[in-house]
A and B are shown apart, each in its own frame.
Chain A
Amino acid sequence: SAVISQKPSRDICQRGTSLTIQCQVDSQVTMMFWYRQQPGQSLTLIATANQGSEATYESGFVIDKFPISRPNLTFSTLTVSNMSPEDSSIYLCSVEWGQPRYGYTFGSGTRLTVV
């Protein structure tokens, strides 16, 4: 499976500021996925990032709040903008792997606390 490096692993941020999370994969992948895991809850897909095109956002998530970059086939960033305490969550990037291409590999996650 692919190996994903995600950073930072955790951060405490002031409300109104922005944080950019980086995700590096050790192999080229077509799609990268960004998830949010709110405290005590399941995973919710934020958006899908394809290289060379704009990210596709799920219902309830918008580009102004969660801008995503995908400059090449091994790297992506997610920015959480104008943060509020409600944004406190774990943010995870993932890729699909294997032949057939079923199964996710996840990064170790970014634990964000907004104060």
Chain B
Amino acid sequence: AQSVAQPEDQVNVAEGNPLTVKCTYSVSGNPYLFWYVQYPNRGLQFLLKYITGDNLVKGSYGFEAEFNKSQTSFHLKKPSALVSDSALYFCAVRDGTYKYIFGTGTRLKVLA
């Protein structure tokens, strides 16, 4: 069965430091992977996706993610965190149909 795991409920990082939010997946076939961000009292916003091609995907707001097939991971990264990056981040995988499976979410807290 398709699944997505976000092993960290919360990640704390100091402003200006690099950040990583982890995601691992389990799918049959080629994975279509996504990251979304949810700010308080808002819907989810698309950050980036991996469909095929270059393993390093660049997205909105300076975020990027690295697809690693051997480790079945799709970690979200940013070289220098901002306080305004503090939000809830969801990893998702498309299950081969039109359905998406979402991870449990990781709350990112960037400390000034």
Pick from A45, A102, A111: contact of B99, CB below 8 A.
A45
Binding site secondary structure of chain A: strand
Binding stretch for chain A, among B13-21, B45-53, B64-72, B77-85: B45-53
Q: Is A60 an interface residue (CB 8 A)?
A: no
| Pair count A-B, CB < 8 A | 51
Residues A42 and B46 in contact in the complex (CB < 8 Å), given A48-B98, A96-B98, A111-B41: no
Number of residues in A with C-beta < 8 Å to the partner?
A: 24
What distance in Å separates the Cβ of B92 from its nearest Cβ neighbour in chain A?
Answer: 8
Of residues 22 through 78 on chain B, the ones whose CB sits less than 8 Å from some CB of chain A are: 32, 34, 36, 41-46, 49, 51
Query: Which residues of B are in contact with A by a Cβ distance under 8 Å?
Result: 32, 34, 36, 41-46, 49, 51, 90, 92, 94, 98-100, 102-105
Query: Which residues of A are in contact with B by a Cβ distance under 8 Å?
Result: 1, 4, 6, 9, 31, 33, 41-43, 45, 48, 92, 94, 96, 100, 102-109, 111
CB-defined A-B contacts under 8 Å, sample of 15: A6-B43, A31-B98, A43-B90, A48-B99, A102-B32, A102-B34, A102-B49, A103-B34, A104-B34, A104-B36, A104-B46, A104-B92, A106-B36, A106-B44, A108-B43
